[in-house]
Amino acid sequence: MNPASTPTHRTIALVGGAGSGKTTLLEALLLRAGAIPRAGSVEQGSTTGDHEPEEIARGMTLGLSLAHVGWATPDGVEHAMTLADAPGHPDFVGGLDTALAIADAALLTVSAVDGVTAGTRNAWAAVRAAAVPLIVVITQEDKARADFRRVLAELREAFGERLVALELPLGEEHDFTALADVLSEHALVYDEAGRHHDEPLPAGAEAEEHRLHVEVTEEIVSHDDELLEAYLDGREPAASDLERTLAREVATGAAIPVVVCSALTGAGVDRIADLVCALAPAATAHDSRIVMGGTEVAVAPNPDGETVLHVFRTVADPFVGQVSMFKVLSGVVHPSDRLVNATTGAEERLHGLFRLRGAEHLPADALRAGEVGAVAKLTGSPSGTLLWSRAGVRAEPAPLPHREPVFAMSLTPVSQSDDEKLMTSLGRIVAEDPTLVIDRTGGAAILRGLGDTHIAVAVERLARVFGVHVTTSPAPIAYRETIAGRTEVEGRLKKQSGGHGQFAVVQLRVSPLPLGGGFEFVDSVVGGAVPRSYIPAVEKGARDALAAGGPQGHPVVDVRVELVDGKSHSVDSSDMAFRTAASIGVKAALAEAGTVLLEPVSLVTVAVPSELQGTVLTDLSGRRGRVVATDVVGDGRARIVANVPEAELDRYVLDLRSITAGQAELMMSPDHYARVPKGSNATA
């Protein structure tokens, strides 16, 4: 179809657990629409969606991938879709959040072999939290051990009775070549090219199909007074009338259709595209939400309105530079348009517009409200900002769900050249993926993310895209020390070098503060033994000594330093002399009284199925965890809140996924410092 045409457009997020068939379904839809000449393979690394080297090497989707495609429905109406293939791996949930932020509807893929998995539950929860209309696709129906009815029962048990089965497979595993259309009550029989023709239902399937038809019909007409009245009068609604009513229910979340397919054979794939066009709301059928002045407001998808673009993802491309992906929330955008970033204030010129189909760039003459596109070389518009045709507007997109980093690695540059480019390149990596966080602990560059694979992929992209090579090691634990007891010391500096010398004497009383007390300086000098002008220098010297570290090599905290007396010289005393004397005195106090090692303690929150609560509690106990609270959060899940030393959490996210089969949700945040107990494995 002509990319410049203006068919009804929808952005459809493909979501689901890893291995559920999202990327293979994307490939089948593109093939069936004639957008690609042949289907690629995940195993061979040739799919449209997984085109990055890191994705090909691992055989999984790691970042949000877009694919524009046109589709003509059986009634001859031209439609267009942007299919957004979202990651299923939990380390890359940020891509899932982004896909749902721009989606008009979502397809949730569930394997007919594996059924409802932890990845299914996580994707379902994300879709419902984003309030995006949903269609469930049971995939891999051609594989050995495929069982549509078992999986449908699992879905209903897990997610309730809003699920409406619109199709029934006629044969499973290698016999899956046809399906029953529940609304029209006839069979769709597929050939080897993935095209179908209609036939009457086989005799052995009529009873089951009709029973399902009655259930679905009654569910749909119960939401439409006119259809319900006709149905009660004995008039059977037409399939087209049922579809129209069902579309309204899908838009509000009152109903969730379930369909079935084999992406490898093509059976059912065309039906998915047809039903998306019939049931999913178009981009122009609903408003977008943005934030202005701290208040969420609606933006109508008006092609005649002001031009507003949501820049939802930026990617560093080694050939064209930065590529910015955006959705047009309002108005029309053309190449060479000048827009102002309403979030950062930067003025941008759009040098060229294109749609994406994986790595392929499809030039576009214009993009209208509801459509998704991309542009290269924007310099002041990072992910999560808005471009506006009018200057002076201050606004930003509705925020994505917050994802707290739970895994960290220390990065060491391999060469001086790598060191010089490291922080700038890390900044660009984080601009691509805001779920990554950079910080520095003890001078080291620490990269924090959602798991080991998350960090590993970022490190690989550092080398491939930016030419920065690093080695990784476990992130250091930010230990602290505090003085073990109260002591009184003298700090003395006396140097004579022919001219002005250096002289200062301070008498200090150094004592511990309660945990979290920080630093306290007290001036108790009487009689002017230390001139008032030198008192601030004494405090600076005390702070210098504490920051430099105690006997165990860590910064010292929770200390009270009291200046009680001292001596000065009219010629040889100076600010620097008293600062040095105070530092000498504090160091002496730490050596004399000794220090106690303090370790950071995190607040850990785990949501898990109730039957796994005991397993998680036992594991936390083995990590010196102290449970703060447990409660029930609904849907058969329990929440556990505990304080756990950071030293016990370096691989906790990975261990937690292992012991709960990926069914746990984890949040961690710094909480406080505590004394390291004797006999623990903490090291100084």
pLDDT digits (tens, 9 = 90+) for 640-674: 999 999 999 999 999 999 999 999 999 999 999 99
Fold agreement (407-474, 598-675): yes
pLDDT, one tens digit per residue, over 558-580 is 999 999 999 998 888 899 999 99
424 Cβ contact list (under 8 Å, min separation 6): none
pLDDT, position 2:
40
Query: What is the separation of C-alpha 226 from the centre of its chain, rounded to a whole number of angstroms?
Result: 44
Calculate what percentage of the chain has a pLDDT beyond 70: 97
Among 128-137, 164-173, 295-304, 523-532, which stretch is predicted with the lowest mean pLDDT?
Answer: 523-532
- Two tokens, residue 50: 């997984």
Span 265-273, average pLDDT: 96
User: Which two tokens mark 635?
Assistant: 């849907």
Structure token pair of residue 107: 């397809």
The answer to whether residue 553 scores a pLDDT higher than 70 is yes
Q: Which range is most confident: 5-14, 229-238, 338-347, 628-637?
A: 338-347
Confidence band for 3, pLDDT divided at 50, 70 and 90:
very low
The topology under which CATH files domain 8-285 is: Rossmann fold (3.40.50)
3-state secondary structure of 361: strand
pLDDT of residue 235: 86
Sequence-separated (6 or more) residues with CB below 8 Å from residue 549? 481, 555, 556
pLDDT over 60 at 222, yes or no: yes
Compute the distance between CA of residue 83 and CA of residue 602 in angstroms, rounded to an integer: 39
Is the CATH number of domain 407-474 3.40.50.10860? no
Give the architecture-level CATH label for domain 481-593.
Answer: 2-Layer Sandwich (3.30)
Partners of 207 in the β-ladder: none
pLDDT reported for residue 681: 60
- The model's confidence at residue 527, banded by pLDDT at 50, 70 and 90, is confident
Please give the helix or strand (H or E) that residue 425 lies within, else none. Answer: helix 416-432
Q: Where are the beta strands (DSSP E) in 423-477?
A: 437-441, 444-449, 470-474
| Residue linked to tokens 């267009």 | 80
Give the whole-angstrom CA distance, residue 334 versus residue 326.
Answer: 13
Q: Average pLDDT, whole number, for the chain?
A: 93
- The residue with greater pLDDT, 634 or 71, is 71
What DSSP character marks residue 611?
Answer: G
pLDDT digits (tens, 9 = 90+) for 375-422: 999 988 999 999 999 999 999 999 999 898 999 999 999 999 999 999
- pLDDT at 227 exceeding the cut of 60: yes
Q: What is the DSSP letter of 38?
A: S
Burial 551-583 (b: 16+ CB within 10 A, else e): ebebebbbbbbbbbbbbbeeebbbeebbbbbbb
Packing angle, helices 269-279 and 239-252, rounded to 10: 70
What CA–CA distance (Å, rounded) separates 260 from 165?
Answer: 9
Using pLDDT thresholds of 50, 70 and 90, give the confidence band for residue 683: low
Strands (E), 614-664: 626-634, 637-645
Segment 462-475 shows an average pLDDT of: 95
**626, two tokens:** 């102290």
pTM of this structure: 0.89
pLDDT at 596: 96
Give residues with Cβ within 8 angstroms of 222, minimum separation 6: 228
- The whole-angstrom separation of Cα 496 and Cα 547 is 29
Residue 4: pLDDT above 70? no
Strand partners, 539: none
Query: What residues are paired with 601 via a beta bridge?
Result: 645, 672
Strand pairing report for 637-645 and 595-609: antiparallel
Give the pLDDT confidence score for residue 7 in this predicted structure: 61
DSSP-derived secondary structure for 589-600? HHHHH-EEEEEE
CA distance 19 to 23: 9
pLDDT at position 507 = 96
Q: Quickly list H helices, 222-306.
A: 225-232, 239-252, 269-279
Confidence band of 10 (pLDDT split at 50, 70, 90): very high
| Assigned CATH class of 598-675 | alpha beta
Are 140 and 17 within 8 A, CB to CB?
A: no
Determine the pLDDT at residue 225: 86
The closest of 380, 375, 379, 387 to 323, measured between CA atoms, is 375
Q: What is the pLDDT, as a whole number, of residue 23?
A: 96
Q: Which two tokens stand for residue 137?
A: 């696709």
Domain 288-397 CATH (choose: 3.40.50.800, 2.40.30.10, 3.30.450.20, 3.40.50.2300): 2.40.30.10
Residues of the chain with pLDDT > 90, as a percent, come to 85
Q: Where are the alpha helices (DSSP H) in 195-268?
A: 203-221, 225-232, 239-252
Question: What residue spans define the domains of the chain?
Answer: 8-285, 288-397, 407-474, 481-593, 598-675
